[in-house]
Chains A and B, each alone.
Chain A
Amino acid sequence: MFTTYRSRLMQAIVGGAVLVGAQSLGFGALADTTLNALFMAQAAYSEDNVRAMTADFEAANPGVKINLEFVPYEGLHDKTTLAQGAGGGYDVVLFDVIWPAEFAENKVLLDVTDKVTQEMKDGVLPGAWTTVEYQNKRYGLPWILDTKYLFYNTEILEKAGIKTPPKTWAELLDQAKIVKEKKLAEYPIVWSWAQAEAAICDYTTLVAAYGGSFLDADGKPAFQNGGGVDALKYMADSLEAGLSNPNSKEYLEEDVRRVFSSGEAAFALNWTYMYNMANGDPKESKIVGKVGVVPAPGVEGKSEASAVNGSMGLGITSTSKHPDEAWNYIAFMTSKAEQEKFAKLSLPIWADSYSSPAVTGGQEALVAAAKTSLGLMFPRPTTPTYQQMSTQLQQAIHAALLKQASPEDALKTAADSAGGGL
């Protein structure tokens, strides 16, 4: 018994030694290149989507392996900069439209302007490129082309006797009032106003509608005047009137999806991904087949519709040891074929795709809304200190929503401390 065990042990040791020896002799030269890629598990493409797309890439590119890591959106920025500060770690990172300025200034991402092919230049929607650009250079490829749409519950609107969804923000409040009075929903509108970037995206949509701006021509804060104040007033007033769900103050996008999908809200502002999850997935939704989607409304005399640029891109870090393989990977992930194959939770960056049945099939309403919204996408400020400005704005929005300050005063405080403070 013991002898058998010992001989097996010897076999294992010898076998292992042979393997190690073989590798050190160069048989390992054919070994895989492994890329580390950082994605988010929140909105847009699901984790399953990203894994499936990556499996497609690995099948088409033997010898390259991708290590996928997923974090919530809230951790994406810090995880990227921390890894970079510690000498790297990721080859490919997903980045938000608001970060290229900071990432370019601090050399987090590789400038890939020269790698972009003519086919990409011709085929990708012009608006999508703004996601990856800073000072006329491109720091990656656009991947998630996204904005916030107004979703509505067709059944509730029908019961309320409302024929068409709202075209203006004022009309939204009027319709919400009818829904509330008829007791079809206690709080007809639901938003993502937690003290996070999500609140800024909703606010930006309203700023766009009210014709406001974040910065003036000199790069100084301008949100404390005009449209910027009107937008925040609208948010606070809708809460005060009991038309917006008061819990919106602690909701992120997934909470909005949950409340809307359970049929508790008549209206919701959210990203593309909510459409197919709420309208087509009975496991995720109680209102399958009852979801309508239109562009976020406008303001009479100022705008027809409104949209925030919530797109994201894939970039290569400056510390990557395999920039060529990483480029192949991001080119594959953003390719037309791959994006059309997974067009249910995020719409493609390619202009042609919007007339392809593979993309439009079963989501005609979403694609119709996208055709309007994607052309209107309003940017958040392009500044290397965006994170700080966003944090100050989030605090101002919360101060106003919690009635600690008037919208004017809250925004003025944020504008005064912009770039200063700590």
Chain B
Amino acid sequence: MMLRSWLLLAPLLAVMTFIIGWPLAKTVGVSFTDAKLIGGDVNWVGADNFARVLGSGMFWSVVWTTIRFVLISVTAEFAIGLGAALLLDQKFIGRNLLRALLILPWALPTVVNATMWRLIYNPDFGAFNALLTQTGMIDSYRSWLGEPGSALLAVCLADVWKNFSLVTLIALAALQSVPRELHSAAVIDGAGPWSRFRAVVLPYLIGPLTVAIVLRTIEAFKVFDIIWVMTRGGPANSTKTVSMLVYEQAFSFQKAGIGASVALVMVLVSSLLIAGYVGLLRRQGEFR
């Protein structure tokens, strides 16, 4: 039985080893060398690259920016996503249309979304400036992506707009699994809306939502494309994330060795998040 399972798994394992294991092993190898992307001799430098990366102010600065991006985006996506799911779980006319429309931002390619938001934030004719000036919230048009104070928040908003619907979809699916009788019973017992949410709905939501948050955290930690298109890491590096540092070192500066070592630090963090994710899945399995 055991042998047959492994035999059946073998083709998949072979493919995974080839497309995941081999590049990963190669990256580990490169991270201990001074390899350049093109040309030049390759020398073994031991852990020098890692020492340089961990000792550099730039590395910690981009780590901090990435953490802020993750915290802001994922928290907002969670809050808005859950709120939207609770609304869409109510019965009203046009609900199905809204549910279908909800997928639209998530289905848009990130580059399209980023370009669209660049236009929305445009300091001369952007809709965001128009909205805020017309509602009297600001006096004159501003450069949202040109100021370090607002650039990261502006990028986060664009990311939230695109990704909150994933949380909504998962939460909505979970909400549908809450038995209606439980709701009715709670109402009869005199439970108010908050107690009903906490005692009846939340236990059904917590598992799927945790999965959604962990998935979004892993994704947000790797963020590259949306920021690359919107700000290219500027102004004054205020939106530069770890992935962008990897790209800059490996491809713009051709320092494949340094790029690989930053990438491996990222892999380590992602692995920890994935370990947490697997742990959560296991625990949920035990509950059922």
Which has the most chain A C-beta neighbours within 10 Å: B148, B236, B245? B236
Given A105-B39, A250-B143; A81-B249 close (CB under 8 Å): no
Cβ contacts under 8 Å, B284 to chain A? none
Chain B binder among A175-183, A272-280, A385-393: A385-393
Chain A binder among B17-25, B53-61, B171-179, B183-191: B53-61
Query: CA separation between A418 and B237, bound complex, in Å?
Result: 17
List CB contacts (< 8 Å) of B145-191 with chain A: 145-148
Query: CA separation between A107 and B38, bound complex, in Å?
Result: 8
Cβ contacts under 8 Å, A399 to chain B? 236
Query: CA separation between A387 and B202, bound complex, in Å?
Result: 52
List CB contacts (< 8 Å) of A110-164 with chain B: none
Contact A107 B39 (CB under 8 A): yes
Interface flag for B248 (CB, 8 Å):
yes
Q: What is the distance, in angstroms, from A222's C-beta to the closest C-beta of chain B?
A: 22
Query: CA separation between A259 and B251, bound complex, in Å?
Result: 33
Interface flag for A241 (CB, 8 Å):
no
Contact B36 A106 (CB under 8 A): yes
Q: What is the distance, in angstroms, from B251's C-beta to the closest C-beta of chain A?
A: 5
Interface flag for A372 (CB, 8 Å):
no
List CB contacts (< 8 Å) of B227-256 with chain A: 231-237, 245, 248-249, 251-255
Q: Count residues of B near A (Cβ-Cβ below 8 Å).
A: 33
Query: CA separation between A81 and B248, bound complex, in Å?
Result: 13
Contact with B234, one of A84, A108, A194, A387 (Cβ below 8 angstroms): A194
A64-83 near B? 1/0 per residue, CB < 8 Å: 00000000001001100110
Interface flag for B52 (CB, 8 Å):
yes
Contact B236 A402 (CB under 8 A): yes
Interface flag for A46 (CB, 8 Å):
no
Interface flag for B225 (CB, 8 Å):
no
| Closest chain B residue to A396, Cβ basis | B236
A383-408 near B? 1/0 per residue, CB < 8 Å: 00101100100110011001010000
Contact A195 B235 (CB under 8 A): yes
Query: CA separation between A29 and B253, bound complex, in Å?
Result: 42
Interface flag for A49 (CB, 8 Å):
no
Interface flag for B123 (CB, 8 Å):
yes
Interface flag for A344 (CB, 8 Å):
no
Given A78-B251, A249-B146, A250-B123; A422-B56 close (CB under 8 Å): yes
List CB contacts (< 8 Å) of B22-42 with chain A: 36-40
B1-22 near A? 1/0 per residue, CB < 8 Å: 0000000000000000000000
Contact A398 B56 (CB under 8 A): no
Query: CA separation between A259 and B123, bound complex, in Å?
Result: 11
Q: What is the distance, in angstroms, from A112's C-beta to the closest C-beta of chain B?
A: 18
Query: CA separation between A402 and B147, bound complex, in Å?
Result: 8
Q: What is the distance, in angstroms, from A184's C-beta to the closest C-beta of chain B?
A: 17
Contact with B52, one of A84, A402, A404, A422 (Cβ below 8 angstroms): A422
Given A246-B146, A398-B236; A387-B253 close (CB under 8 Å): yes
Which has the most chain B C-beta neighbours within 10 Å: A77, A108, A421? A421
Query: CA separation between A82 and B114, bound complex, in Å?
Result: 24
Interface flag for B263 (CB, 8 Å):
no
Contact B234 A106 (CB under 8 A): no
Contact A246 B235 (CB under 8 A): no
List CB contacts (< 8 Å) of B115-152 with chain A: 123-124, 143, 145-148
Interface flag for B258 (CB, 8 Å):
yes
Contact A421 B124 (CB under 8 A): no
Q: What is the distance, in angstroms, from A262's C-beta to the closest C-beta of chain B?
A: 8
Interface flag for A168 (CB, 8 Å):
no
Query: Could you name 9 residue pairs across A and B whose Cβ atoms are closer than 8 Å?
Result: A74-B232, A84-B38, A195-B233, A247-B143, A250-B146, A398-B235, A398-B236, A422-B53, A422-B245
Query: Which B residues lie at the A interface, using CB under 8 A?
Result: 36-40, 52-53, 56, 58-59, 123-124, 143, 145-148, 231-237, 245, 248-249, 251-255, 258
| Given A391-B253, A398-B236: 20 more A-B contacts, CB < 8 Å | A81-B254, A82-B251, A108-B38, A108-B39, A194-B234, A195-B233, A247-B124, A247-B143, A249-B143, A249-B147, A387-B253, A388-B253, A395-B236, A398-B237, A402-B147, A402-B148, A402-B235, A421-B56, A422-B56, A422-B58
The 9 closest A-B pairs by CB, nearest first: A195-B234, A106-B39, A250-B146, A398-B236, A247-B123, A249-B146, A85-B37, A247-B143, A106-B38
